[in-house]
């Protein structure tokens, strides 16, 4: 089967992007990354993409906000910039903007997102910290991460892959974050593989 075309969208360090690049290079995913998109110029993930010879697109929201343009205009223009790369799948790996239907409708069922919490647990920002604090309050015994198909509702949508991440008594937020990211680097690959199987 020919390699499927992935567009990966990031906002930061890009360790999950790196896991995807490594899996493609090692033949563990029947895919290749054809474009990396970031809304932040200083995202280290852009350096990772350049090192791997993958085209990058820096597409900030700020100019749209400064012109008083609606988020849907940004999302529509962003989709227009991505379409020429003919993605089979768009992977949100730390992308920090909520994508509106203006974007999602252009790639129906083909946008997936990695979130550092289990289904229905801590949607939105700072999920790892909120889980850590809930553990300290004795409300949960573990957390986890998941890859799901993106729907207009934030961090919901059909789950493609997930993993439990234990929280230990001696954990600090930093040690929990490190354990979470290790799990994410496995779950993101499993989620992409499932998504590609579904759109065969
Ligand atoms: C990950 O924890 C992801 O779940 C969250 O943002 C983080 C991205 O990390 N949405 P990285 O940029 O892939 O290292």
Q: What is the pLDDT of residue 104?
A: 95
| Residue percentage of the chain with pLDDT more than 90 | 93
Q: What is the pLDDT of residue 157?
A: 87
Q: What is the pLDDT of residue 1?
A: 60
| Residue percentage of the chain with pLDDT more than 70 | 100
The domain in which residue 73 lies consists of 4-199
* Protein residue whose Cα sits closest to atom 6 of ligand 1: 94
From the CA of 94, how far away is ligand 1's center (Å)? 4
Residues with CB under 6 A from ligand 1: 10, 12-17, 45, 93-94, 114-116, 184
- Note the pLDDT tens digit of each residue in 123-177: 999 999 999 999 999 999 999 999 999 988 777 889 999 999 999 999 999 999 9
Which residues are known to be catalytic?
Answer: 115
**Beta strands 4-10 and 31-38, pairing class:** parallel
Q: What is the pLDDT of residue 79?
A: 98
The residue count for the chain: 200
Mean pLDDT, all residues of the chain: 96
Q: What is the pLDDT of residue 199?
A: 80
- Residue 164 phi, psi dihedral angles, 5° rounding: -80, 140
For the chain, how many structural domains are there in total?
Answer: 1
From the CA of 170, how far away is ligand 1's center (Å)? 23
198 or 64, which is more confident: 64
* Protein residue whose Cα sits closest to atom 14 of ligand 1: 15
Who contacts 66 (Cβ-Cβ below 8 Å, separation ≥6)? none
Tell me the average pLDDT across 84-92: 98
Q: What is the pLDDT of residue 133?
A: 98
Q: What is the CATH number of the domain that holds 115?
A: 3.40.50.170
């Amino acid at each position: 089967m020919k390699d499927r075309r992935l567009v990966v969208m990031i906002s930061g360090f890009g360790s999950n992007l790196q896991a995807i690049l490594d899996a493609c290079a090692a033949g563990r995913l029947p895919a290749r990354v054809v474009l990396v998109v970031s809304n932040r110029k200083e995202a280290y993930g852009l350096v990772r993409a350049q090192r791997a010879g993958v085209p990058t697109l820096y597409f900030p929201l700020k100019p749209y906000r400064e012109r008083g343009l609606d988020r849907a205009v940004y999302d529509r223009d962003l989709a227009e910039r991505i379409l020429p790369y003919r993605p089979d799948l768009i992977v949100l790996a730390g992308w920090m903007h909520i994508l509106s239907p203006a974007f999602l409708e252009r790639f129906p069922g083909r946008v997936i997102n990695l979130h550092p919490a289990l289904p229905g647990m801590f949607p939105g920002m700072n999920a790892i910290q909120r889980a850590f604090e809930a553990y300290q309050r004795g409300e949960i015994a573990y957390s986890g991460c998941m890859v799901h198909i993106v729907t207009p509702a934030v961090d919901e949508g059909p789950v493609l892959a997930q993993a439990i991440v234990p929280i230990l008594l001696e954990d600090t937020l930093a040690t929990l974050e490190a354990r979470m990211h290790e799990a994410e680097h496995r779950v993101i690959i499993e989620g992409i593989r499932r998504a590609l199987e579904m759109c065969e």
